[in-house]
Structure 1
């Protein structure tokens, strides 16, 4: 197998600007297949923008993105996205099960009835995320943690090879976060790749395989132990080296 086909994601010299202001500058990194990967960095580092660039949600002023060895257009069904909670419209009249079923739309379209294979994918996603008791609940009546599980179930129902999650642990308690990380690790063990923006460096250091340290440009990328170093964190967060252990920098 070629090196390119072993990569779930490859960004090469990606640049993004908002209103003429550069947000990402010469961003290049690779994410291998089958890893739990995090994008970390200080506020305003361009973490969410990097995800949006990956998904074609913002235009590139330069650079190239390859997903599973080719373009996003060729692999759209194989990529699932869980946005930030504050970007999700909570007052839309929809139930949890309807959200999960949306994960099958990339395969079936918006107007075709779900078939037996779709029902099986939805049922598996519901079971793995533990939301069986929430299926008939309106989305706007769920807690932040419950909504996060529902949207993760939607991503699982898609049966995507690459899951892209923007701050997936916002508004969830520690116990829920640990359970969700366990689930993401299981998905990776099954062959999927997960890329998540995350602020908790301690969790990244302890549970993630791969990391990208971003501050407008890539300061470090690779295995977590090689990325979350004292020197790299000091550069990213502007702190003295003795204050840049993962637990401190995450505060």
Structure 2
């Protein structure tokens, strides 16, 4: 039997532009074509997961949407517009191994970076900015780590600090690449509740994720990839035995328990 969902699926038929829309997009990485001619729309205001086996193109998909990996062809729209027009409205949390952990910076300085898209790098932060930074750190449970150097934090603590940076930005779209790596189950549950709360406030959240059971029980939308998009929509319609066998070569047993 499949797990029971813990969130009501939001009404996405509102006429609001998609959070992410890719039309005929092809992308390559390291000289290798990762996917070709991808079409996918992720609705606004939902907690969406991009899933699939290793090498399926999950991270490349979100990086292509963000301009971090060049799209060879096709059209990308973010919040209904070209990325250059909405960049400050988008926050990105990369994979942990994409971050220089030995950079001489404290946790609070990392979170303060979330305000720079609004203030610029050379202007001092205001009291309102400081309040937003403090609130974001409280939300993810790292307020007591504010003055700790980044390289002294555990993997899970660093991940929460970078999520706090995204929250401090007050973005309309938050994109996270494997956000729960090195995070224990309890912290993952707390962070999922936080992300769910953001969606209730109208924020769109897209996460590259790997735990299919969590996708079924906690996410509103799923994109299943394996060298392209196999299916996109409500998780229970996407993570079917037929789709999973096509993506993984077999349906993961965890969904049948």
Alignment of 1:153 with 2:164, yes or no, is yes
**TM superposition score normalised by structure 2:** 0.91
Does the CA-based 8 Å contact 2:107-2:145 persist in structure 1? yes
- Give the structure 2 partner of residue 174 of structure 1: 185
Counterpart secondary structure, 1:44: coil
CA distance in 2, matches of 1:50, 1:19: 14
Matches within 5 A, 1:1-251: 5-239=16-250, 243-247=251-255
CA deviation profile, 1:102-131 (whole Å, cap 9, x unmatched): 000111111100012312221221121111
CA distance in 1, matches of 2:14, 2:196: 23
CA-CA distance at 1:58 after TM superposition: 1.1
CA distance in 2, matches of 1:247, 1:114: 47
Equivalent residue pairs, number: 246
CA-CA distance at 1:160 after TM superposition: 0.2
Structure 1 runs, 4 residues or longer, greater than 6 Å off = none
CA distance in 2, matches of 1:112, 1:228: 47
Q: Quote the RMSD (CA, aligned, Å).
A: 1.8
CA deviation profile, 1:177-208 (whole Å, cap 9, x unmatched): 11111111111111101000001111111100
CA deviation profile, 1:124-178 (whole Å, cap 9, x unmatched): 2112111111001110111111111100000000000000000000011111111
Which sections of structure 2, spanning at least 5 residues, go unmatched? 1-12
**TM superposition score normalised by structure 1:** 0.94
Residues 188, 3 of structure 1: alpha-carbon distance in 2 compared, 3 angstrom cutoff: closer
CA-CA distance at 1:8 after TM superposition: 1.2
CA distance in 2, matches of 1:141, 1:41: 32
Does the CA-based 8 Å contact 1:13-1:62 persist in structure 2? yes
Does the CA-based 8 Å contact 1:42-1:215 persist in structure 2? yes
Does the CA-based 8 Å contact 1:84-1:166 persist in structure 2? yes
CA-CA distance at 1:247 after TM superposition: 4.0
Counterpart secondary structure, 1:126: helix
CA distance in 1, matches of 2:30, 2:178: 25
